[in-house]
Amino acid sequence: MTHDTNDIILDVQHVSKRFGGVTALNDVSLQIRRGEIHGLCGENGAGKSTLMKILAGVYPHGSYEGTILYEGRELRLGESSIRQAIEEGIAIVYQELTLVPSMTVGENIYLGKEPVERGSINWDKLYAQTKDILAKYRLEIQPQAVVKRLGVGKMQMTEIAKALSENARIIILDEPTSALSEAEIDKLMEILAILKEHGVTCIYITHKLDEFFRITDTVTVLRDGKIVTTRPTKELDQHQLVNYMVGREMTERFPKGNRKPGEVILKVEDLHALEPDSEREVLKGVSFDLRKGEILGIAGLMGSGRTELVMTLFGEYGRINRGKVILDGKSLDVHNSRAAMSCGISLVPEDRKRHGLVLMQSILKNISLANLDRFSNWMRIDENRELSESQKFAKSLSIKTPSLQARADSLSGGNQQKVVISKWLMSQPKVLIMDDPTRGIDVGAKYEIYRLMNDLAEQGMAIIMISSELEEVLGMSDRVMVMCEGHSTKTLDIKEASQEKIMRLATGLE
Amino acid sequence: MATTTATPTTQSRTNTLKLFRANLQTFALVGALLVIWLFFTLATKNGVYLQAQNFSNLFRQMTITALMSVGMVLVIVTGNIDLSVGKLAGFISVVVAVFQARYWTRETAIPASEVHNPVFFILGLIAVLIILAVASRWYRQQEAKGSKPSQYGFPVVVVGIIAVTLLALWFVITPLVADLTGRVLTALVLEGSEALTTTISVIFALLLGVFVGIIQGFIIAYWRVPAFIVTLGGLWVFSGLITLVTEGKTIPANQPLFSGISQDYVPPTLGWMIAGAVVVVLVYSTFTGRQKKVRYGFELPPIAFDLVKTGVMALVVLGYVYIVNQYNGIPNPVLLLAIVAVVVGYMATNTRFGRYAYAIGGNREAARLSGVNIRRNVFFIFVLMGFLCGVAGTALASYVGYGTIAAGQGYELDVIAACILGGTSTLGGEGTIFGAMIGALIMASLTNGLQMLNVQPGYVYMLKGAVLVAAVLLDVQLKKNR
């Protein structure tokens, strides 16, 4: 259990990396001790991913300056460097999982290194070895389970098992919890502790600050490609960490608004809905109401039907088979997003890359995509009006870009999210639904989005916000509706809501 | 002093550089074209390659595939493909030839009984069209009500099968009746009026293309069968129809007016007038465009940049007309292609229809959630594709002067190659009609030049293949380094 505190497994010395004229890493030096869990923290674009990609061999030796000592030797990853990094024992578990969904856990773990005897795969051996690995690290998954049927948490376990099967000595976890439920996060934390017992070193990247305090031994903060500080976690608190990250004093994480909720605009009564193309009921009785100028938080675990609920309201998911939705005193009956928009409902989807943006297109085209009807005279799109309207939104949301003609994928996560929000604000909704609006974006951008939400609510817009982070729900909402297994449990006033209370409702204890 | 003057110059230089980088692909394509032209001009005797006559032929040779490439760009941009275009254009050219040979002229090589009557075929088409229109209307109502596909899918399939069966029946059992009607109609109404008969032929060809586009588009967009499969099936169906209609014979379509569609030239004076009008429109739109931007308070691009751009475009138009007027004038089909390309190109960038196509190809889910009706958009793109096959088929029949069993053979590959060479991404979301036109021109220039140098056809094919792969390889490398 105890390790020599001076046993350095990885020593990064004066590493710099440039992309054209942009310096992504500037003279970064960092030491990681064997067997520790080392947190890496910083806003998007601070250089965390670049540093990790160097370690994982995505950028081979020679494409950066400086040296990296690994186990006392210089790490020189050359041709086919990603494979080489894995053989050296450095494995990376990406935010987006890299498993083959149609294969089993065992097949995935041994993909590319199947035990072969006389030219054919020895399946018994493969599954036996898989079982050994899973048992050794107490990972509760079935070797023969097909990956696509597993939950995200178990998929991630598979990914970790895959790294361990390569005798990984350093495992890099890039935002491992961004798609996990609270229970799954707890499970992951347990696994990390088990890895630590076995002397595996972990580098842990996340945007959720509380996780640093739950699990890491040391935290390094990066800002603008430079190391700001490396300190034992014990000596830090959340407040300090935020200050290191943003480089300025941030007095509060959630800006306080001056909201005065008005009359009810949207009323949902005992809504039941079926999954598309099947008879399975995903929404089993949801009731709530939403007022003008308020932010209603929707909390619930993964799979509780939060996303399904808002997608159904937006006309893009299930078929309603019971219950009523009343918008502005009129019964709402929409079957696609276009109809929902014309009724005054906008939805900022959960996964901005998959559902929100056309990444290869310009920022301008992304903002205007849902609103081209307003710029069209008969057939022709008035490109000047399109540009001038889009510029207004880009400016008021302070999207940081040299030009609206730049491609959407050139932006950081926070700015991409602002583009998606601009698109949906341009359609002038009465009800704005935001599904996990701050997922995977940095503290500074989060703050800006919170402020925007406040402004919109103060102007009288009704906002529904789904969030996986309880702190966010508590910090931003006027009321919180908690969902559990497809039905709504209770709508709490923010004064009576607490993390414990919400968790009890979400897990069905109350 | 030095610093104050240096700043704006470097800035404008970086701006120019940026503009250059952004349009690198276009410049590379045009550059490649110019290199090819230069090479063949030097390689052929007296530079015959770029002299008026060959220059004129060069452009005309590319028109038939290029007409279809215009639609294919949009098909590929939405993430689909159409393998049936060659055979469809071939089928349409054969049917048009039958019209020309069988109905509009008395003394014909083919006896009446051997060919099915297109007039009745039209009626059949109209009947099926009505059925499909009713079906799709009903389908949309069901969809709006939010019913499940399993509840309305079956009747739709039944209607589809009935429609196809009806079509087949019209084809098989009605030649006798049809023949009679055709004869009467010909004798009473159309005898002697070549303008009228040619118009009917052309309209029918376009309608036939649209009809096929509707059927294929409907199956692809609404019944969600992959385009690759539907159009592969279409390729065989049209091959079969070509064989049925021609019965292996060559059908002449060489009446003067009809042949004129692809073989005649715009008179030089008229050509100059057209060029002049184009230049006036170009200059006018440049300046009004700038004025409008001023009204919106946008930053204007440097006047020099706009002037150079407009100037180059004007020079290209004037230069082209100057060269071809030394021979016979602008070939009719080239003018037709120019009009089609400009109109569809405008649709692609300046209308919702076009914008949605790029959004669908770029990210289908994001487009759907943004309120884009994906099915309707894809459907209409296939209808447009069918229409353009109609145009191409007419041009083909007129150009070669007959309909044969080999009509349109292998054209689909040329059409797709032109798009890819012109920078259309096979993954969808990216591609321009201008690029495809240059791509088609590069392919035509290569073929034409190699033929002039008497290179064996075998080598010509191999070289075309190599050029296509090399171009995409280069593109991949350029994108990686950007």
From residue A236, how far is each of A219, A233, A247, B203 by CA, in Å?
9, 5, 15, 79
A37-52+87-246 and A253-344+429-510: identical CATH topology: yes
**How many whole angstroms separate alpha carbon A181 and alpha carbon A188?**
10
Q: Is A369 on the interface with B (CB under 8 A)?
A: yes
| DSSP alpha helix (H) spans, B99-193 | 118-145, 149-173, 175-185
Residues B417-426 have pLDDT tens digits of 999 999 898 8
Best residue in B288, B349, B370 for a mutation probing chain A (most A CBs within 10 Å):
B370
Mean pLDDT of A71-88: 82
Residue with token string 């070509």? B242
From residue A286, how far is each of A349, A433, A489, B126, B425 by CA, in Å?
20, 16, 8, 50, 45
Mean pLDDT of A266-295: 89
Q: Tell which wins on pLDDT, B219 or B77.
A: B77
3 state SS of A231: strand
Question: Nearest residue on chain A to B294, judged by CA atoms?
Answer: A384
Q: Calculate how close chain B gets to A368, using CA atoms only, in Å.
A: 10
Q: Say if the Cβ atoms of A372 and B352 lie within 8 Å.
A: yes
pLDDT tops 70 at residue A197: yes
| DSSP alpha helix (H) spans, B251-302 | 256-263, 268-295
Mean pLDDT of A438-461: 87
Q: List CB contacts (< 8 A) between B362 and chain A.
A: 358-361
pLDDT tops 80 at residue A257: no
Residues B287-336 have pLDDT tens digits of 998 988 888 888 888 888 889 989 999 999 999 999 999 999 999 999 99
Question: Nearest residue on chain A to B289, judged by CA atoms?
Answer: A384
pLDDT tops 50 at residue B118: yes
Question: Nearest residue on chain A to B141, judged by CA atoms?
Answer: A335
Mean pLDDT of A9-24: 82
> What is the number of other CB atoms lying within 10 angstroms of the CB of residue A195?
21
pLDDT of A86 reads: 84
Q: Say if the Cβ atoms of A358 and B359 lie within 8 Å.
A: yes
Residues A370-392 have pLDDT tens digits of 999 888 887 889 989 999 999 99
pLDDT of B110 reads: 42
Q: Calculate how close chain A gets to B451, using CA atoms only, in Å.
A: 40
pLDDT of B334 reads: 96
Q: Calculate how close chain A gets to B178, using CA atoms only, in Å.
A: 41
Q: List CB contacts (< 8 A) between A379 and chain B.
A: 347, 351-353
pLDDT of B22 reads: 64
CA atoms within 13 A on the CB side of B267: 3
Q: Say if the Cβ atoms of A358 and B293 lie within 8 Å.
A: no
From residue A415, how far is each of A36, A227, A354, B37, B275 by CA, in Å?
34, 23, 16, 46, 47
Q: List CB contacts (< 8 A) between B296 and chain A.
A: 384-385, 387-388
Fold assignment, B25-117+174-267+329-481: ABC transporter involved in vitamin B12 uptake, BtuC (1.10.3470)
Q: Say if the Cβ atoms of A335 and B145 lie within 8 Å.
A: yes
Q: Calculate how close chain A gets to B258, using CA atoms only, in Å.
A: 33
pLDDT of B161 reads: 65
Pairing of strands A90-93, A116-117: unpaired
Q: Is A387 on the interface with B (CB under 8 A)?
A: yes
Give me the residue from B144, B350, B365 closest to A381, CB to CB: B350
Pairing of strands A345-348, A431-435: parallel
Question: Nearest residue on chain B to A333, judged by CA atoms?
Answer: B145
> Mean pLDDT in chain B?
83
At the second CATH level, the architecture of A253-344+429-510 is: 3-Layer(aba) Sandwich (3.40)
pLDDT of B160 reads: 65
**How many whole angstroms separate alpha carbon B440 and alpha carbon B58?**
11
| Domain ranges across chain B | 25-117+174-267+329-481, 268-328
Q: Say if the Cβ atoms of A360 and B143 lie within 8 Å.
A: no
CB of A17 within 8 A of CB of A199?
Answer: no
Mean pLDDT of B46-68: 92
Q: Say if the Cβ atoms of A337 and B298 lie within 8 Å.
A: no
pLDDT tops 70 at residue B116: no
pLDDT tops 60 at residue B343: yes
pLDDT tops 80 at residue A136: yes
Q: Is A319 on the interface with B (CB under 8 A)?
A: yes
Residues B349-364 have pLDDT tens digits of 999 999 999 999 999 9
CB of B344 within 8 A of CB of B70?
Answer: yes
CB of A277 within 8 A of CB of B148?
Answer: yes
> Mean pLDDT in chain A?
86
**How many whole angstroms separate alpha carbon A103 and alpha carbon A109?**
10
Q: Say if the Cβ atoms of A423 and B292 lie within 8 Å.
A: no
Q: List CB contacts (< 8 A) between A346 and chain B.
A: none
Asked whether the ipTM of the predicted complex exceeds the cut of 0.85, the reply is no
**How many whole angstroms separate alpha carbon A368 and alpha carbon A351?**
19
Element counts in chain A: helices (H) and strands (E): 17, 24
Mean pLDDT of A95-109: 83
| Domain ranges across chain A | 37-52+87-246, 253-344+429-510, 354-428
Q: Say if the Cβ atoms of B369 and A335 lie within 8 Å.
A: no
Q: Torsion angle of alpha carbons B321, B322, B323, B329, nearest 10°?
A: 50
Segment of A81-85, B20-24, B176-180, B273-277 carrying the highest mean pLDDT:
B273-277
Query: Which tokens belong to A276?
Result: 């598309």
Q: pLDDT-based confidence at B279, cuts 50/70/90?
A: very high
Chain A, 272 to 291: residues with Cβ < 8 Å from chain B are: 277
pLDDT of A95 reads: 64
Q: Say if the Cβ atoms of A356 and B297 lie within 8 Å.
A: no
At the second CATH level, the architecture of A37-52+87-246 is: 3-Layer(aba) Sandwich (3.40)
In this structure, of A17-31, A127-141, B83-97, B296-310, the range with the lowest mean pLDDT score is A17-31
Q: Say if the Cβ atoms of A360 and B362 lie within 8 Å.
A: yes
pLDDT of B256 reads: 83
CB of A175 within 8 A of CB of A209?
Answer: no
pLDDT of A286 reads: 94
Q: In what order do the strands lie in the sheet with A37-41?
A: A90-93, A170-174, A201-205, A37-41, A218-223, A226-232
pLDDT tops 90 at residue A468: no
Give me the residue from A349, A372, A384 closest to B293, CB to CB: A384
Give me the residue from A355, A365, A384 closest to B292, CB to CB: A384
pLDDT of A1 reads: 41
Q: Say if the Cβ atoms of A388 and B351 lie within 8 Å.
A: no
